[in-house]
Amino acid sequence: MKKKEPYIPKKFPPEKIEWKEIIPLIGMANSAIARFDGMLQGLVNPSVLLSPLTTKEAVLSSRIEGTQATLEEVMQEEAGFTDKKISSSLKEDIKEIINYRNALTFAEGELSHRPMTLGLIKDIHAILLDSVRGKDKSPGEFRNSQNWIGIPGMPMEMSRFVPPDPIILQEHLERWEKFLHFDEFPDKLVQLAIIHAQFEILHPFKDGNGRTGRLFIPLFLFWKKLLTKPSFYLSEYLERNRQQYDDKLLFITEKGDWQGWIEFFLNAIIKQSEINIGKSKKMLELYEKSKMEFAAATQSQYAIAALDTFFKKPIINTSLFLKTTAIHNRGTGNDILKKLVNAKLIKLLKPSEGRKPAVYIFYDLLNIVEDKKIC
């Protein structure tokens, strides 16, 4: 077997880009992002409306890493509802998924008063890997040992790719960071494609490189003002085309094929944008329809607040519902929930049991996020 050596990065950013060949793709990808942002700007409260998509992104990006948890399992755990005894590994998966979402929220806040730097990337990583499982993976620290990409547990000789030696890592990271700020580059989306791939090639952390690199995608678009909110997610496409995603990254270092990677990435943006716009529109329609239905069913001043709560947390228990909706009277809250169930707008997932509060679910929203046609 050929001995695997750590990769020595070539000139960065790459020089040989055949711009002419990708002009049509660049045009389509940029207008796809612009359309998505136009839709975002039309939303009164995008954080509330799109919050289930953020959780979904966290689930899918983490699934590329190998976590097993589903969106519903994450939401059920957050609602304090578990119909079966869950394993500690699933609990850890869920924690990592919630960390991913928290890292995104944190970074969005930071970017309002701080530029994107290696320091911020480390802070994001620290949140992402803040868990029992992440403890031995140096959260928030660049690696000082050799790592490799392949099937977990396999020796380096059998790996697919060996990232650079830690001794030269810092120098290449600094070059990478400089490129983040290079605003004269001809196109931001091509720049982002290159930034994401080079981050994965450098593999600066012991673990969590894939997730940090994918988290970076909406953050870069937001930071460079292509988006009003960092809510353009790509992991659904990358998860569906995972083999191609990994192969195209590999071909950069194996064959110097930046062109193939850039084309793949621009195509991903174009395809994912259609999906994201479609889902967001359906969610907006549901919100508008539900506004009237929630008001009619509850006849309450809290109707819209209750709807916002179900958008933020489509699976929720009574206590959290009262808190999030800012209803101080338990009787009022219970009455609203009862009326919503009677009007078939939400469903009772689990009745209260002793001191455990009841759990409710807003199926219509989950079905859109999960692409289900049932219920």
Q: Which stretch binds ligand ADP (CB under 6 A): 112-120, 245-253, 309-317, 339-347?
A: 245-253
Give Cα 323 distance to the centre of its chain: 26
Place of tokens 């002793």: 354
Structure token digits, residue 277: 């716009």
All residues at 6 or more sequence positions from 168 whose CB lies less than 8 Å from its CB, including other chains: 8, 9
Specify the residue, 64 or 305, whose C-beta has the smaller distance to ligand ADP: 64
Q: How far is the CB of 108 from ligand ADP (least distance, A)?
A: 19
Window 31-70: residues binding ligand ADP (CB under 6 A): 64-65
Give the integer Cα–Cα distance in Å for 252 and 250.
Answer: 5
201 binds, among Mg ion, ligand ADP, none (CB under 5 to 8 A by kind): ligand ADP
Q: For residues 128 and 197, which CB has a smaller minimum distance to Mg ion in the complex?
A: 128
In angstroms, give the least distance from the CB of 211 to ligand ADP: 3
Contact (CB, 8 A) for 206 and 145 = yes
Closest CA to 361 of 94, 83, 61: 83
Q: Which is nearer to ligand ADP, 58 or 327 (CB)?
A: 58
| Per-residue x/- track, 59-88, Mg ion (CB under 5 A) | ------x-----------------------
Nearer to ligand ADP, 191 or 212 (CB): 212
Instruction: For helices 242-255 and 258-298, give the axis angle rounded to 10 degrees.
Output: 150
**Which partner from the list Mg ion, ligand ADP, none does 213 bind, CB cut-off 5 to 8 Å by kind?**
ligand ADP
Instruction: Name the binder of 25 from ligand ADP, Mg ion, none, CB < 5-8 A by kind.
Output: none
Among Mg ion, ligand ADP, none, partner that 250 touches (CB below 5 to 8 angstroms by kind): ligand ADP
Answer for which of 54, 55, 76, 209 binds ligand ADP (CB under 6 A) is 209
Per CB under 6 A, which region of 26-34, 101-109, 205-213, 359-367 contacts ligand ADP?
205-213
Phi, psi angles (nearest 5°) of residue 326: 60, 45
Beta bridge mates, 72: none
Q: List the one residue from 48, 111, 156, 250 that touches ligand ADP (CB under 6 A).
A: 250
Options 110, 141, 239, 246; binder of ligand ADP; rule CB under 6 A? 246
CB of 252 to Mg ion, least distance (A): 19
348 near ligand ADP (CB under 6 A): no
Window 231-290: residues binding Mg ion (CB under 5 A)? none
Of 149 and 359, CB closest to ligand ADP: 149
Query: Is residue 207 close enough to count as binding Mg ion by CB under 5 A?
Result: yes
Q: Which of residues 128-157 bind ligand ADP (CB under 6 A)?
A: 149
Contacts with Mg ion by CB under 5 A lie at 65, 207
Question: Which residues are at the interface with ligand ADP (CB under 6 A)?
Answer: 64-65, 149, 160-161, 200-201, 207-211, 213, 246, 249-250
